[in-house]
Amino acid sequence: MDSRYLRALVAVADQGGISAAAQALGYAQSSLSAQIKRLEADLGVSVLVRSGTGAVLTEAGARLLPHAREALELEEQMRRAARGDRPRLRIGAQESLAHVWMPDVLAALEYGANGTDSGVDAELTVANRRTLEAAFSAGELDLVFQYDNGIGALGPHTVVGHDRTVLVAAPSHPLARKDVVTPGDMLRYDFLVAERGCTSEMLVDRFGRDLLAGDQLAMIQGSLSALLRLTGHGHGVTLLPELAVTRELQEGELVELRLTERIRPVSIVAQWRPRLGAAERGLHALLDVARRADPLPEATRAAGPAGSPVRASAIRRR
């Protein structure tokens, strides 16, 4: 099957219409429409439903789409192999991980931290959890790094590290003057949450559903930097992995609030697609480097009494 037809289908699915897809691919709209019609003729089924507002996939088109993405990625792998290029590894990471940790891990891999050439060209996509999971399911990413938060991964996956979770606020916030913060104290102030299923949900496990309910909950969708700035300006408190706030804590823009009970560390989980071919070697090299860059090694996780701060270890390029 002509890969141009598959690329046309994927473009329409991603862009939401034939006109937008044609523009993205640099084709005339009539040319892209003709490619879709040839694809439908080859398959003997309709793959798109056209309307005045765009185009949507039929059931047959939806079933075909992941296979089309996989075929196009295989074609790209073959082209790279024929040119003698290194295989590509498409990596996704939550913004809180990409804030500090992920760039160091990738740099360490490139500099041979595992003792050998990584053997891959790594491409990093930074997004929120929902976007990453959608891209991974669609076959647009080969490997995803996320905080676990009790959400089980599907397919091959492993824990590569851990991070301490910290409750933070602006130095001027009323809670910053307290030696110990109780659940009742937090209920009096806005609680900022980056997205559903984020690290902040861990407070529910410890202190109850009321903490993240009602007027006190404020959602800051899609931007860690916006969440940090609002917190730094005194608009509320938030619970985040320590990696996400390392710089702000060091610079004094945020302060850590001591809770009556210590919140458990959160795992960093890597999930990848099977059958990555030539990129498999680079994948496992990256996982090895990530494990050795664990921000919170086991000895550190076990140290310190409940309620006392436990500092995450610095990530070193080895």
- What CA–CA distance (Å, rounded) separates 138 from 153? 15
Return the structure tokens found at 280.
Answer: 């498999």
Chain segment 205-242, per-residue pLDDT in tens: 555 555 555 445 455 555 778 888 889 998 888 888 89
Q: What is the mean pLDDT of the chain?
A: 80
- What CA–CA distance (Å, rounded) separates 37 from 282? 39
Contact 108, 177 (CB under 8 A): no
DSSP letter (8 states) at residue 282: H
Please count the residues of the chain: 318
**At 95, which helix (H) or strand (E)?**
helix 95-98
In this predicted structure, the answer to whether residue 305 has a pLDDT above a threshold of 80 is no
Mean pLDDT of 168-181: 93
pLDDT at 125: 93
pLDDT at 212: 53
In this predicted structure, the answer to whether residue 261 has a pLDDT above a threshold of 80 is no
Q: If 0-12 CB within 10 Å is exposed, 13-18 middle and 19+ buried, where does residue 39 land?
A: buried
Mean pLDDT of 128-146: 87
Q: What domains are defined for the chain?
A: 3-83 (1.10.10.10), 88-163+266-302 (3.40.190.10), 165-257 (3.40.190.10)
What are the DSSP calls for 200-246, one per residue?
GGHHHHHH-GGGGSGGGEEE-TT-HHHHHHHHHTTS-BEEEEHHHHH
Q: How far is CA 277 from CA 74, 86, 87, 143, in A?
A: 9, 12, 9, 13
Return the structure tokens found at 216.
Answer: 């006190």
